[in-house]
C-alpha cells in the first residue's frame, strides 16, 4: 500500500513542486523503515511540527493559492502526511481512498492513452491496498489478492464500457472555482519577433486532421488561426474591432455530426478559444462557430481535446470600406524610415499592388535572405529597417512582420495571419498531424477584384518551409527542436523511430477521437444509430434494456453455482420445498430431518389436522424414502414418482 | 423514539427467527444472505459521485470513466461478496465445558464444498469473532471463545456470519442459530465451612478431613480414563508405558458431596461450593459421590466421573 504512493504522486510530477515530490519520497522511505522496524513512529510533537512546516513551505512556494495545480499539490501534501501517521485500519482505508482519488486527478492534466493506462493500472494497486486492508491480509498472501483484484478489474471493463456509452452526457453543471494555470503551448494572440520561434522548439502536437476527400498539397495547408490587424509598438495584435468581429459575426450554422464535411480537426487543448481551419472554411459541426472571416472560434477556452468538422466553401469576395482599408494599412508614423523609403521607390516603379507585391517577393527570393531558427537579436526600434537592410536572417514572423509593414507602407490593406503551416502525414492512420513547430505567420493582402489574398514572404525566402516543412528548411543548421534533444521528432530520419512515432501517434489519435471525445453529440449520434431513430425515447428504452442485461448477467453470474447444483439434485430441491411447507405450520419440523423424522414429528403434533392431510404427508414421505434410499433402476419411473410427489406437495 | 427502535428491533428479531430457524448445519444460500454496503462502501460511492461530478464539470471523459470504473468495481464487489459467502457450510461441532465466568470454547466446522471462502468472520456480537478462510474442498475447524457468565446449558444463540471480502466495501452477512451449546459448570466457590454441622452426614463429613490417601502402595498398569494425575510419569519416561500409582484406599466409606448438606446459601452458591468440593476431592484422588435432589452419582474417582459430577451440577435441576 505504501508503494501506492509513488505512482499516485508521480502521475502529478509535472505540476508539483520538486520539494513536494521529495517529501513524498521521504515519507515513503520512512514508512517502509517503520514497517521493517528500523525506526520508531514519530511522536505527536514531531508530527505536528512537521505538518506545520510543510504547510508553511507549501504556502510559500505556491504563488496563487486557488488553482487546480495547487489543489492537487495540497492534496498530495495531505496524502503524504497521512502516510506519516498510518496506524489504524481506519487510517489505511482513508489512505487507500486518497490513493484512488489522487491517481484519478492525474487525468485532469492529460487524457492520453498512456496516462489513462497508467492510471487504470495503478488504480489496481489502490484497490489491492483496499482489499489487503479490509481483510487484513498478510504481506505474504498479497499476490493472491493482487490476482483477484486485477481479474475483478478485467470483469469491470465491459461494465465500464457500457456505462461510458450510455451514461447521459451534458455540459458542466457549474463552473469550477479552481482554474488551471499550467501553460499550454500554442499560439498567442500577439506576435512580436521571437514568439513563433520559441514555439518552433516544441514537438508537442497542436491538432490532427482527417480529410474526407483528397488531401490538398502540403504547400496549400495554411491553417489559419488568428488575424492580427493591428501593428503597434513593434508587435502585431488584434484590434478591438477585430475581436468584436470574431465575437459577433458568426458565419456557419451548427449542424449535426452526420452532415457531409470535408475535414475533421481534433484540436489538442491549448486553453484558448480559437481553432484552426484552412481558408474559406465553414463549420459543419462541433461546439464552435466560424466567423465570416473563416476563423474557427469556441465559446469557451479549449481545455480538453475537442473536435470540429469543416466544409470548404467557395471564397466570397469581400468589399472593403474606406475606413477598413485605412485600418488595414495603418502604421505608426516615423518608424522604419528606410522601409518607407523603399516603399516609395517601389510605388514609383510599379503601378498595381499586384506588381508591387510580386516585386517584393522576387526581391526576397533573389537577395541574401536566410531562413533560420536562431536569428540575431534585433533592436527595439525600427525593426523592419534593421531586418530588411541589416541582418536579413530570420524566421517566418520576421518576414511576415517586416513585409507586412512594407505592404502597409505601400498602402496595400494588409493583415498578419498566424496559425500553422503543413503537417506530418500519418500513413497508418491516414491523418495529418500538425505540431507546434509547424507554427507559422504569413500575410493576407486585400486586392481590388480579388479580395483577401494570401502572401507568404517566408515561402519566397525558403520554399522548403512550406513544401516539406520546417525540419527540412532548417536542416542545415541543426536548430530543429534543439532545446529538446530527446524529442523523437528530431530523429525522424531513423526509420524505426519514425515508424514508432507514427504508430504511437496513430494509436493516440484513435484513442482521443474514439474514446476521449465521446460527448453529448456523439452519444446521441451513436445511440440514435443503434436504435435506428434519433429519438431520445428509443435511447431511454435502449438504456433500460442494457441495464437489465447487465444486472441480469450479474445476477446469473452470482447464483449460477447454486442453480447448477439445484439442477443436479431435483429430488433434494423438492424435498426442501416439502419441508419448508411443513415447517411453516409445524415448528418441530426443520431442515435436515429425514423423511421418517418428518413423518413422526408431523404425526405427533398434528392430531388436529384432517386425516387426509396426514395421509398425504405419509404418502409423500414414503415417496421420498423410495426415491432417496431405494435404488430405482428405471430413470423413467423415478421421474414419474418425482412428478407425482410434486403434484402432491403442491396440493398440500 | 427509543421505543420505536426497540419495537423495530424486536420485529426484526422475530422476522429473522422466522426466516432463519435454528438448524444443525447450514450451507448459505441466497435465502440466508443479506448484503449492504459498509460505511467505507458508502464513502466509496461518495468518491465515485465526486469523480463523476469532477469529470462533468471539467468536461474530462477519462475522470468520468474512472468514476464508472470504480462504480463497476463496487457492483462486482457485491457479486463477489455474495459468491464468496454463498455455499459456505458451517456446522457446530462440539464444545468443551467450562466454568462460569470463563471463556468457553465452541468448536465449529466450516467447509468449502463448491468453492473456497475467504475472510469470513464468525461469532457473536460484540467481540467473540474468529476470522476463517477455507479453500475449495477443504474444511476447517476453529474454536470461538465466548464468555459464559452463568452455570447451565448455555446457548449463545444466533451467531453472526459476516464477510467484507473482497475490498471491505460490501458486507455480506447472515444470522444463524446453529444450536451451539456449551455446558457451563458452576464457578467453584471456596468455603471454609465444613458441612459437618448439617444433620445426616456428620460422620462421613468428619472423615473427609482425614487424609488417608497419601500412602503410596505400588504401580499397576494404567486404565484409560483414569486420572492423569495418578500416572507414574517417571515410570512412563523410563518404560514408555503408562502406569498408575496406586494409593492406599481409606477403609472408610467414600465421601458424599450432598446438596442438602449445605446449610447456607442459595442454590447457586451451594452448587458452586459443591463444584469446589468435587475439584478438591478429585485433585486428592479421593473416592467421592454426588447427591443432588433427584439425582445421585455413585462414588468413583476417574476423570470421567469428575466430568459427570460437574455436568450434573451444571445442568441442575435437569436430570
**Among A93, A108, A160, beta carbon nearest to B69:** A160
The 10s digit of each residue's pLDDT in B271-283 is: 888 888 888 888 8
- Asked if A310 contacts A224 with a C-beta cutoff of 8 angstroms, the reply is no
For B108, residues 6+ apart whose C-beta sits below 8 A from its C-beta are B90, B91, B92, B93, B122, B141, B142, B143, B144, B178, B180
A438 or A545: which leads in pLDDT:
A438
Query: pLDDT band at B48, cuts 50/70/90?
Result: very high
Give me the mean pLDDT over the A318-347 stretch.
88
Q: Are residues A194 and A329 in the same domain?
A: yes
Q: Are residues B164 and B199 in the same domain?
A: no
**Among B25, B65, B73, beta carbon nearest to A127:** B73
> Domain holding B46: CATH number?
2.60.40.10
Q: Are residues A286 and A367 in the same domain?
A: yes
Q: Does A127 touch chain B (CB under 8 A)?
A: yes
Does residue B95 belong to any structural domain of this protein? yes
Does residue B126 belong to any structural domain of this protein? yes
Residue A605 scores a pLDDT above 80: no
Q: Are residues B44 and B172 in the same domain?
A: yes
For A234, residues 6+ apart whose C-beta sits below 8 A from its C-beta are A192, A193, A380, A381, A383
CB contact under 8 A, A591 and B23: yes
Query: pLDDT band at A96, cuts 50/70/90?
Result: confident
Does residue B40 belong to any structural domain of this protein? yes
Q: Which residues in chain B touch residue A93, judged by CB atoms under 8 angstroms apart?
A: 40, 168
**pLDDT score, position B208:** 41
Looking at B184, B205, B226, the residue that finishes a domain is B184
The Cα–Cα gap between A107 and A122 comes to 13
Q: Which domain holds residue A561?
A: 531-567
Does residue A211 belong to any structural domain of this protein? yes
Residue A223 scores a pLDDT above 90: yes
Q: Does A176 touch chain B (CB under 8 A)?
A: yes
B81 or A570: which leads in pLDDT:
B81
Q: Which residues in chain B touch residue A561, judged by CB atoms under 8 angstroms apart?
A: 83, 86-87, 114-115
Q: How far is A628 from chain B (nearest CA, A)?
A: 20
Test the A interface: residue of B32, B69, B121, B178 with most A CBs within 10 Å: B69
Tell me how far the alpha carbon of residue A180 is from its chain's centroid: 15
Among A201-205, B199-203, B241-245, whose mean pLDDT is lowest?
A: B199-203
Does residue B9 belong to any structural domain of this protein? no
Residue B210 scores a pLDDT above 50: no
Query: pLDDT band at A58, cuts 50/70/90?
Result: confident
Q: Are residues B204 and B268 in the same domain?
A: yes
Give me the mean pLDDT over the A594-622 stretch.
73
For A299, residues 6+ apart whose C-beta sits below 8 A from its C-beta are A273, A287, A288, A289
Does residue B224 belong to any structural domain of this protein? no
C-alpha cell at B188: 467453584
Residue B23 scores a pLDDT above 70: yes
The 10s digit of each residue's pLDDT in B151-202 is: 888 888 888 888 888 888 999 988 888 888 888 988 888 876 554 433 444 4
- Asked if A2 contacts A28 with a C-beta cutoff of 8 angstroms, the reply is yes
Test the B interface: residue of A69, A104, A519 with most B CBs within 10 Å: A104
The Cα–Cα gap between A435 and A185 comes to 10
If one counts the domains in chain B, the total is 2
Does residue B161 belong to any structural domain of this protein? yes
- Provide the percentage of residues in chain A whose pLDDT is more than 90: 8
**pLDDT score, position A607:** 57
Which of A51-65, A478-492, A596-610, B213-227 tops mean pLDDT? A51-65
**pLDDT score, position B69:** 93
- Provide the percentage of residues in chain B whose pLDDT is more than 90: 8
**pLDDT score, position A45:** 80
Q: How far is A32 from chain B (nearest CA, A)?
A: 23
Residue A446 scores a pLDDT above 80: yes
**pLDDT score, position A631:** 64
The 10s digit of each residue's pLDDT in A122-161 is: 888 888 888 888 776 665 567 777 888 888 889 888 888 8
Q: Are residues B269 and B166 in the same domain?
A: no
Q: How far is A80 from chain B (nearest CA, A)?
A: 19
CB contact under 8 A, A173 and B57: yes
Q: What is the ipTM of this complex?
A: 0.73
The Cα–Cα gap between A581 and A652 comes to 8
Q: Are residues B253 and B131 in the same domain?
A: no
Residue A329 scores a pLDDT above 60: yes
Q: How far is B184 from chain A (nearest CA, A)?
A: 26
Q: Are residues B30 and B165 in the same domain?
A: yes
Q: Are residues B44 and B159 in the same domain?
A: yes
Residue B238 scores a pLDDT above 60: yes
The Cα–Cα gap between A605 and A589 comes to 10
CB contact under 8 A, B168 and A149: no
**pLDDT score, position B251:** 45
**pLDDT score, position A461:** 86
Test the B interface: residue of A101, A107, A132 with most B CBs within 10 Å: A107
Residue B224 scores a pLDDT above 70: no
Give me the mean pLDDT over the B23-44 stretch.
86
**pLDDT score, position A633:** 60
Q: Count how many Cα atoms sit within 13 Å of the Cα of residue A353 in the half-sphere of its side chain.
A: 20
Taking the alpha carbons of A156, A160, A166, A169 in that order, is the dihedral positive or negative?
positive
The Cα–Cα gap between A203 and A185 comes to 10
Looking at A146, A161, A176, the residue that finishes a domain is A161
Residue B132 scores a pLDDT above 90: no
If one counts the domains in chain A, the total is 4
Does residue A643 belong to any structural domain of this protein? yes
Q: Are residues A598 and A558 in the same domain?
A: no
Does residue A168 belong to any structural domain of this protein? no
The 10s digit of each residue's pLDDT in A413-431 is: 999 999 999 888 888 778 8
Torsion (CA) B8, B14, B16, B22 in degrees, nearest 10: 150
State which residue of chain B sits closest to A95, comparing Cα positions. B40
Q: How far is A516 from chain B (nearest CA, A)?
A: 6
Three-state SS at B67: helix
Q: Are residues B47 and B134 in the same domain?
A: yes
Does residue A518 belong to any structural domain of this protein? no
Q: Which residues in chain A touch residue B40, judged by CB atoms under 8 angstroms apart?
A: 93, 97, 134
A103 or A43: which leads in pLDDT:
A103
The Cα–Cα gap between B129 and B141 comes to 14
Residue B205 scores a pLDDT above 60: no
**pLDDT score, position B217:** 55
Q: Are residues B166 and B257 in the same domain?
A: no
Give me the mean pLDDT over the B112-141 stretch.
83
CB contact under 8 A, B62 and A163: no
The 10s digit of each residue's pLDDT in A151-193 is: 888 988 888 888 888 787 777 777 666 665 555 567 777 777 6
Q: Are residues A213 and A352 in the same domain?
A: yes
A593 or B302: which leads in pLDDT:
B302
For B253, residues 6+ apart whose C-beta sits below 8 A from its C-beta are B204, B207
Which of A328-337, A518-527, A555-564 tops mean pLDDT? A328-337
Q: Are residues A473 and A577 in the same domain?
A: no
CB contact under 8 A, A172 and B57: yes
Q: Which residues in chain B touch residue A107, judged by CB atoms under 8 angstroms apart?
A: 60, 62-63, 66
State which residue of chain B sits closest to A115, comparing Cα positions. B62
Query: pLDDT band at B42, cuts 50/70/90?
Result: very high
**pLDDT score, position B225:** 66
Among A14-28, A66-80, A336-350, whose mean pLDDT is lowest?
A: A14-28
Q: Are residues B208 and B138 in the same domain?
A: no
| Nearest to B78, CA basis, from A159, A137, A100 | A159
Query: pLDDT band at B46, cuts 50/70/90?
Result: very high
Residue A635 scores a pLDDT above 80: no
- Angle at the Cα of A348 (from A342 to A349), degrees rounded to 5? 95
**pLDDT score, position B20:** 77
Q: Which residues in chain B touch residue A127, judged by CB atoms under 8 angstroms apart?
A: 73, 167
- In this structure, how many other beta carbons lie within 10 angstroms of the beta carbon of residue A161? 15
Q: Which residues in chain A touch residue B28, judged by CB atoms under 8 angstroms apart?
A: none
Does residue A143 belong to any structural domain of this protein? yes
Looking at B184, B205, B232, the residue that finishes a domain is B184
Q: Which residues in chain B touch residue A160, judged by CB atoms under 8 angstroms apart?
A: 65, 68-69, 72
Q: Which residues in chain B touch residue A517, judged by CB atoms under 8 angstroms apart?
A: 61
Does residue B239 belong to any structural domain of this protein? no
Does residue B240 belong to any structural domain of this protein? no
**pLDDT score, position A413:** 92
**pLDDT score, position A251:** 58
**pLDDT score, position B202:** 42
CB contact under 8 A, A558 and B50: no
| Nearest to B66, CA basis, from B36, B44, B81, B40 | B44
Q: Which residues in chain B touch residue A176, judged by CB atoms under 8 angstroms apart?
A: 57-58
Q: Are residues A118 and A222 in the same domain?
A: no
CB contact under 8 A, B60 and A107: yes
Q: Are residues A539 and A451 in the same domain?
A: no
A228 or A525: which leads in pLDDT:
A228
Q: Which residues in chain A touch residue B169, judged by CB atoms under 8 angstroms apart?
A: 130, 134
**pLDDT score, position B211:** 39
Q: Which of residues 577-616 of A touch B (CB under 8 A)?
A: 583, 587, 590-592
Q: Are residues A30 and A104 in the same domain?
A: yes
Kindly report the average pLDDT of chain A as a whole number: 79
Residue B212 scores a pLDDT above 60: no
Q: Are residues A419 and A542 in the same domain?
A: no
The Cα–Cα gap between A555 and A48 comes to 50
Q: How far is B55 from chain A (nearest CA, A)?
A: 9
A287 or A216: which leads in pLDDT:
A216
Kindly report the average pLDDT of chain B as a whole number: 80
- Asked if A299 contacts A287 with a C-beta cutoff of 8 angstroms, the reply is yes
Q: Are residues A288 and A421 in the same domain?
A: yes
The Cα–Cα gap between B226 and A496 comes to 87
Does residue A176 belong to any structural domain of this protein? no
**pLDDT score, position B199:** 40
Q: Are residues A554 and A592 in the same domain?
A: no
Give me the mean pLDDT over the A278-306 stretch.
82
Residue A245 scores a pLDDT above 90: no
Taking the alpha carbons of B94, B98, B101, B104 in that order, is the dihedral positive or negative?
negative
The Cα–Cα gap between A445 and A356 comes to 12
The Cα–Cα gap between A461 and A368 comes to 9
Q: Are residues B153 and B275 in the same domain?
A: no
Q: Are residues B147 and B178 in the same domain?
A: yes
C-alpha cell at A524: 446521441
Q: Which domain holds residue B259?
A: 195-213+249-315
| Nearest to A497, CA basis, from A488, A506, A486 | A488
The 10s digit of each residue's pLDDT in A12-40 is: 665 666 777 777 778 777 777 777 777 77
Q: Are residues A106 and A239 in the same domain?
A: no
CB contact under 8 A, A172 and B66: no
C-alpha cell at B213: 490417601
- Angle at the Cα of A265 (from A263 to A442), degrees rounded to 5? 95
Amino acid at each position: 500500500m505504501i508503494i501506492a504512493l509513488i505512482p499516485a504522486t508521480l502521475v502529478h510530477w509535472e505540476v508539483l513542486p520538486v520539494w513536494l515530490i521529495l517529501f513524498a519520497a521521504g515519507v515513503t522511505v520512512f514508512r517502509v523503515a517503520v514497517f521493517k522496524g528500523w525506526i520508531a513512529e514519530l511522536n505527536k510533537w514531531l508530527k505536528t511540527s512537521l505538518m506545520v512546516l510543510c504547510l508553511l513551505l507549501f504556502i510559500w512556494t505556491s504563488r496563487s493559492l486557488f488553482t487546480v495545480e495547487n489543489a492537487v499539490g495540497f492534496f498530495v501534501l495531505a496524502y503524504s502526511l497521512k502516510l506519516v501517521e498510518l496506524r489504524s485500519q481506519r487510517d489505511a482505508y482513508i489512505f487507500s481512498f486518497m490513493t484512488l482519488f489522487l491517481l484519478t486527478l492525474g487525468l485532469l492534466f492529460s487524457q492520453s492513452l498512456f496516462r489513462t493506462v497508467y492510471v487504470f493500472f495503478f488504480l489496481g494497486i489502490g484497490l489491492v491496498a483496499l482489499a489487503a486492508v479490509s481483510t487484513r491480509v498478510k504481506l505474504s498472501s498479497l499476490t493472491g489478492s493482487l490476482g483477484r483484484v486485477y481479474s475483478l478489474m478485467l470483469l469491470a471493463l465491459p461494465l465500464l464500457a457500457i456505462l461510458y456509452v450510455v451514461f447521459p452526457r451534458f455540459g458542466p453543471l457549474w463552473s469550477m472555482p479552481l482554474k488551471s494555470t499550467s501553460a499550454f503551448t500554442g499560439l498567442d494572440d500577439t506576435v512580436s519577433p521571437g514568439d513563433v520561434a520559441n514555439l518552433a522548439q516544441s514537438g508537442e502536437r497542436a491538432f490532427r486532421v482527417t480529410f474526407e476527400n483528397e488531401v490538398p498539397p502540403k504547400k496549400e495547408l495554411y491553417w489559419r488561426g488568428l488575424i492580427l490587424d493591428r501593428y503597434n509598438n513593434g508587435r502585431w495584435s488584434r484590434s478591438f474591432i477585430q475581436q468584436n468581429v470574431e465575437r459577433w459575426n458568426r458565419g456557419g450554422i451548427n449542424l449535426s455530426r452526420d452532415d457531409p464535411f470535408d475535414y475533421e480537426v481534433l484540436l489538442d487543448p491549448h486553453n484558448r478559444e480559437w481553432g484552426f481551419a484552412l481558408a474559406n472554411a465553414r463549420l459543419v459541426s462541433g461546439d464552435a462557430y466560424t466567423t465570416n472571416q473563416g476563423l474557427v472560434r469556441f465559446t469557451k477556452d479549449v481545455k480538453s481535446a475537442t473536435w470540429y468538422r469543416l466544409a470548404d466553401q467557395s471564397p466570397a469576395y469581400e468589399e472593403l470600406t474606406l475606413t477598413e482599408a485605412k485600418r488595414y494599412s495603418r502604421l505608426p508614423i516615423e518608424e522604419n524610415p528606410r522601409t518607407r523609403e523603399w516603399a516609395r521607390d517601389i510605388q514609383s516603379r510599379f503601378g498595381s499592388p499586384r506588381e508591387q507585391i510580386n516585386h517584393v517577393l522576387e526581391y526576397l527570393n533573389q537577395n541574401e535572405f536566410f531562413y533560420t531558427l536562431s536569428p540575431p537579436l534585433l533592436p527595439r526600434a525600427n525593426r523592419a529597417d534593421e531586418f530588411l537592410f541589416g541582418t536579413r536572417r530570420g524566421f517566418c514572423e520576421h518576414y511576415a512582420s517586416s513585409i507586412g509593414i512594407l505592404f502597409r507602407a505601400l498602402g496595400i490593406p494588409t493583415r498578419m495571419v498566424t496559425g500553422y503551416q503543413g503537417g506530418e502525414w500519418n500513413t497508418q492512420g491516414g491523418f495529418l498531424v500538425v505540431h507546434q513547430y509547424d507554427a507559422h505567420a504569413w500575410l493576407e493582402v486585400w486586392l481590388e477584384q480579388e479580395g483577401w489574398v494570401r502572401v507568404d514572404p517566408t515561402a519566397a525566402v525558403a520554399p522548403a518551409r512550406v513544401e516539406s516543412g520546417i525540419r527540412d528548411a532548417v536542416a542545415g543548421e541543426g536548430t530543429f527542436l534543439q532545446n529538446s534533444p530527446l524529442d523523437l521528432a528530431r530523429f525522424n530520419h531513423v526509420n524505426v523511430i519514425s515508424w514508432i512515432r507514427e504508430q504511437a501517434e496513430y494509436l493516440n489519435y484513435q484513442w482521443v477521437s474514439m474514446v476521449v471525445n465521446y460527448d453529448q453529440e456523439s452519444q446521441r449520434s451513436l445511440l440514435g444509430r443503434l436504435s435506428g431513430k434519433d429519438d431520445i425515447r428509443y435511447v431511454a428504452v435502449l438504456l433500460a434494456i442494457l441495464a437489465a442485461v447487465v444486472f441480469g448477467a450479474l445476477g446469473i453470474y452470482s447464483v449460477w453455482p447454486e442453480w447448477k447444483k439445484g439442477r443436479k439434485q431435483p429430488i433434494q430441491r423438492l424435498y426442501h420445498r416439502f419441508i419448508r411447507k411443513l415447517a411453516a405450520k409445524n415448528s418441530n419440523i426443520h431442515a435436515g430431518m429425514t423423511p421418517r423424522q418428518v413423518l413422526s414429528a408431523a404425526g405427533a403434533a398434528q392430531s388436529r389436522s384432517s386425516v387426509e392431510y396426514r395421509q398425504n404427508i405419509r404418502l409423500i414421505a414414503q415417496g421420498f424414502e423410495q426415491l432417496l434410499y431405494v435404488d430405482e433402476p428405471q430413470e423413467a419411473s423415478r421421474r414419474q414418482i418425482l412428478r407425482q410427489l410434486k403434484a402432491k406437495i403442491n396440493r398440500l | 423514539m427509543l421505543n420505536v427502535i426497540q419495537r423495530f428491533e424486536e420485529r426484526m428479531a422475530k422476522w429473522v427467527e422466522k426466516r432463519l430457524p435454528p438448524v444443525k448445519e447450514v450451507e448459505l444460500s441466497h435465502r440466508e444472505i443479506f448484503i449492504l454496503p459498509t460505511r467505507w462502501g458508502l464513502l466509496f460511492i461518495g468518491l465515485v459521485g465526486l469523480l463523476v461530478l469532477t469529470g462533468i464539470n471539467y468536461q474530462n471523459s477519462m475522470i468520468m470513466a474512472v468514476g464508472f470504473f470504480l462504480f463497476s468495481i463496487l457492483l462486482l464487489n457485491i457479486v463477489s461478496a455474495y459468491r464468496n459467502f454463498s455455499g459456505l457450510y458451517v456446522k457446530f461441532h462440539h464444545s468443551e465445558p467450562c466454568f462460569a465466568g470463563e471463556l468457553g470454547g465452541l468448536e465449529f466446522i466450516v467447509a468449502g464444498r463448491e468453492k473456497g471462502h475467504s475472510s469470513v468472520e464468525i461469532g457473536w456480537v460484540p467481540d467473540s469473532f474468529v476470522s476463517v478462510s477455507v479453500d475449495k474442498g477443504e474444511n476447517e475447524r476453529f474454536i470461538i471463545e465466548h464468555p459464559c457468565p452463568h452455570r447451565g446449558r448455555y446457548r449463545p444463540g444466533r451467531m453472526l456470519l459476516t464477510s467484507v471480502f473482497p475490498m471491505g466495501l460490501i458486507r455480506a452477512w447472515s444470522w444463524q442459530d446453529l444450536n451451539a451449546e456449551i455446558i457451563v459448570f458452576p464457578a467453584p466457590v471456596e468455603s471454609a465451612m465444613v458441612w459437618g454441622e448439617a444433620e445426616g452426614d456428620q460422620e462421613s463429613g468428619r472423615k473427609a478431613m482425614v487424609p488417608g490417601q497419601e500412602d503410596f502402595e505400588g504401580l499397576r498398569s494404567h486404565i484409560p480414563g483414569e486420572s492423569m494425575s495418578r500416572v507414574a510419569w517417571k515410570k512412563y519416561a523410563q518404560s514408555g508405558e503408562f502406569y498408575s500409582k496406586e494409593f492406599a484406599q481409606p477403609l472408610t466409606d467414600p465421601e458424599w458431596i450432598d446438596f442438602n448438606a449445605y446449610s447456607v446459601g442459595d442454590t447457586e452458591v451451594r452448587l458452586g461450593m459443591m463444584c469446589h468440593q468435587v475439584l478438591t476431592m478429585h485433585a486428592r484422588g479421593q473416592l467421592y459421590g454426588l447427591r443432588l435432589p433427584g439425582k445421585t452419582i455413585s462414588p468413583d474417582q476417574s476423570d470421567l466421573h469428575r466430568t459427570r459430577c460437574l455436568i450434573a451440577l451444571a445442568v441442575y435441576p435437569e436430570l
